[in-house]
Chain A
Amino acid sequence: MSIWLNYHLQAIKLVLARMHNNKLSSFMICLVVGAAFCLPGLFYIGVDNLSKLTDHMQNETEISLFLKLDASADTITKIDALLGKNEAIKQFHLVTKDEAWQKLKAKSETNDEASDAVNQLTKNPLPDAFFIQAKSADPESLETLRNELQSISGVEQALLNTEWAKRLSSLLALGKKIIFFISVLLAVALLVIIGNTVRMQILTQKDEIEVSNLMGATSNFIRTPFLYAGILYGLFGGLLAILMIVAVVQLFNDSIAQIASLYSSDFSLALFNAKLFVTIIGMAIAIGWLGSYLAVSRAIASIIQVQKSR
């Protein structure tokens, strides 16, 4: 056990020393890995935050129930009772046409044009309306509720304001698919990049591999330092990607806070997304390992082959 541990520590030390000796090129490789992971990571953060935002908005959706203009007080009480019995409804309130009219007038006073337009109206054009909040935020059940409400007699129109939210969330689903494909493509590119890097390192260490092989080193013994090199490139690259993402998010947050304040919201991008960061590092390490494994296995096979045919 301690021999095994010692051996792995030796391998890591060796690789770190090699990286230290080639600081610039090691840094470049990590930078490539970092940039490649930064891109889908940022995209993910964008989509993730947008979908949180739409969830938030969907929670606030109301169904507006506009009654027919000639609805009598009787109809209103009937509908009121009906809504009170409906289990899907969390709460509702009535805004009568007179209240709505007063509100409109009060609001339009600050705006001359609107005030003129309102004053020209001789008769109140507004209907009585119920504003309903449903218990569930799920678009489908909202839709059924809306249809149900629409069929009540005396109702002119039941309006659900989630159409745009639905569109946005389907766009976001598309965005998530795009992220997936970009990530897969970049992962393949990284496999090749890391594999190539490790292959070049193997070429510079051809003698060592050959001599080790002649002295009875197992393939695992030869392979291990290169695998650690791949893993470390992935690890450092992943950390760089996270740094870049945090920097970019920080940069964007200022302008986002400005926009959000225009909409009187305190929305901002979450700076730390533990799940994303762990995923990035995990993926980077896995890709680093796999890339160097493929490269080193091929290289060892060919070096041993050359040595045999000599």
Chain B
Amino acid sequence: MIKFDQVTKRYPGSDEALKNVSLNIEAGELVFVTGHSGAGKSTLLKLIAAIERPTSGTVLIANQNISELKPSAIPFMRRRFGLIFQDHKLLYDRNCFENVILPLHINGVTGLEAAKRVRAALDKVGLLHKEKAMPITLSGGEQQRLAIARAVVSRPSILIADEPTGNLDASYAADIMAIFHAFHQVGVTVIMATHDARGMSASQNRVLHLNHGALNHGELNHGESKIEGSAS
């Protein structure tokens, strides 16, 4: 599903954010990306979501090389993903319902069908009773849940979350983690960057540990290794 082959990413005027990373993520996996701040977690996620292009190496998403995608094809590639950000990126000029319906409009789904799916998504994250509320009136945890509803409403096959629990206290974070686990249960590939280990301690999941842009070996809690990171 997602394959990195010796991927390096360098931003202009700075060090390599990712060094020679190779990895393979299968459909339906739940993968945690950990590492200190500045280790390249966000860069890794941006490469997966086709927001960035690698400086060298190849990134294959569903067998498509994102470096060779035409600019006009990138929007359609992105629709495979549900993106969740630490800072939510909600739109504060419209209510919860209108926030969640945006990806459906982008996908060309409108009318009753769209409304039904928005309510289903809001229900999944427990915000159905707040559909008319403005996002600014929600608590931090509720805003993050709203962002999740928005990410899943178009039924993407891959969920990408960049530190979704970063700003939340423990009980909210546990709620959020439970929601992600629920999506994983129904077959959605979930890739999550996180610097805290609370959510993953209980489960047998794959962990990709980044250290100064390089993948470390031996962080696998499960089976055989699919990671061939270079030691830096």
Task: Select A7's contact among B74, B89, B110, beta carbons within 8 Å.
Answer: B110
B106 is an interface residue with CB less than 8 A from chain A: yes
**Other-chain residue from A6, A211, A308 in contact with B52 (beta carbon distance below 8 A):** A308
Determine the main DSSP class of A at the interface with B: helix
The closest CB in chain A to the CB of B110 belongs to A6
Most chain B beta carbons < 10 A, residue from A3, A208, A210, A218: A218
The answer to whether A217 has its CB under 8 Å from any CB of chain B is: yes
A–B Cβ pairs within 8 angstroms, 22 of them = A3-B108, A3-B110, A10-B110, A207-B89, A207-B91, A210-B89, A211-B89, A211-B91, A214-B49, A214-B51, A215-B78, A215-B79, A215-B103, A215-B154, A216-B75, A216-B79, A216-B81, A216-B103, A217-B106, A221-B106, A308-B52, A309-B12
Cβ A217 vs Cβ B75 within 8 A: yes
Q: Which of B51, B72, B75, B77 has the most CB of A within 10 A?
A: B75
How many angstroms from the CA of A207 to the CA of B52 in the assembled complex?
Answer: 19
On whether A216 and B77 interact (CB within 8 A), knowing A211-B102, A309-B12, the answer reads yes
Which residues of chain B have C-beta atoms less than 8 A from A10's C-beta? 105, 110
Q: Is the CB of A215 within 8 A of B111?
A: no
Question: Is A120 in contact with chain B by the CB < 8 A criterion?
Answer: no
Given the known A-B contacts A215-B79, A215-B83, are A208 and B51 also in contact in the complex, defined by CB atoms under 8 Å? no
Main secondary structure of the interface of B (DSSP, over half): loop
Contact B51 A307 (CB under 8 A): yes
Contact with B along A194-214 (1 / 0, CB 8 A): 000000000000011011111
How far is A207 from B107 in the complex, measured between Cα atoms in Å?
19
Tell me, rounded to whole Å, the shortest Cβ–Cβ distance linking A101 to chain B.
89
Contact residues in B for A215 (Cβ distance below 8 Å): 78-79, 83, 102-103, 106, 154
How far, in whole Å, are A163 and B166 apart by their CA atoms in the complex? Answer: 88
List, in ascending order, chain A residues with CB within 8 A of B52's CB.
308
Count how many chain A residues have C-beta atoms less than 8 Å from C-beta atoms of the other chain. 20
Question: 3 nearest interchain CB pairs?
Answer: A216-B78, A216-B79, A217-B106
Chain B residues, Cβ within 8 Å of A221: 75, 106
Binary per-residue interface labels of chain B (125-140) against chain A in the complex, 1 for a CB within 8 Å, 0 otherwise: 0000000000000000
Complex alpha-carbon distance, A211 and B83, angstroms:
10
A28 to chain B, nearest CB (A): 21
Instruction: Please give the distance in Å from A206's CB to the nearest CB on chain B.
Output: 11
Residues of A near B75 (CB, < 8 A) are: 213, 216-219, 221
Kindly list chain A residues whose C-beta atoms are within 8 Å of the C-beta of B111: 6
Q: How far is the CB of B83 from chain A (nearest CB, A)?
A: 6
Known: A214-B89, A215-B83, A218-B72. A309 touches B11 (CB 8 A): yes
Neighbouring A residues of B106 by C-beta, 8 Å: 212, 215-217, 221
- Chain B, residue nearest A3 (CB): B108
Select which of A208, A217, A218, A309 is within 8 A of B91 by beta carbon.
A208
Q: Chain B residues with Cβ under 8 A from A216's Cβ? A: 74-79, 81, 103, 106-107
With most chain B CB atoms within 10 A of its CB, the pick from A210, A211, A216, A219 is A216
Chain A residues with Cβ below 8 Å from B108 are 3, 7
Contact with B along A1-23 (1 / 0, CB 8 A): 00100110010000000000000
Q: What residues of chain B lie closer than 8 Å to A211, measured between beta carbons? A: 89, 91, 102
Report B184-195 CB contacts with A as 1/0, cut-off 8 Å: 000000000000
A268 to B42, CA, bound (A): 73
Complex Cα gap A212–B12 (Å): 26
Q: Which residues of A contact B107 (CB under 8 A)?
A: 216
Residues in A whose Cβ lies below 8 Å from that of B93 = 208
Complex alpha-carbon distance, A3 and B52, angstroms: 31
Which residues of chain A are near B77, meaning CB under 8 Å?
216
Provide the residues of chain B in CB contact with A214, threshold 8 Å: 49, 51, 78, 83, 89
A7 to B101, CA, bound (A): 13
Least Cβ–Cβ distance between B118 and chain A, in angstroms: 14
Q: CB-CB contacts of B23-49 with A at 8 A, as 1s and 0s?
A: 000000000000000000000000001
In the assembled complex, the Cα of A85 lies from the Cα of B98 at a distance in Å of 86
CB-CB < 8 A to A309: which residues of B? 11-12
Q: How far is the CA of A308 from the CA of B106 in the complex (A)?
A: 21
Are A308 and B83 CB-contacts (below 8 A) given A10-B105, A217-B106? no
Chain A residues with CB below 8 A from B11, complex form = 309
By a CB distance below 8 angstroms, the chain B residues around A208 are: 91, 93
Nearest B residue to A18, CB-CB: B93
Q: How distant is B45 from chain A, measured CB to nearest CB, in Å?
A: 12
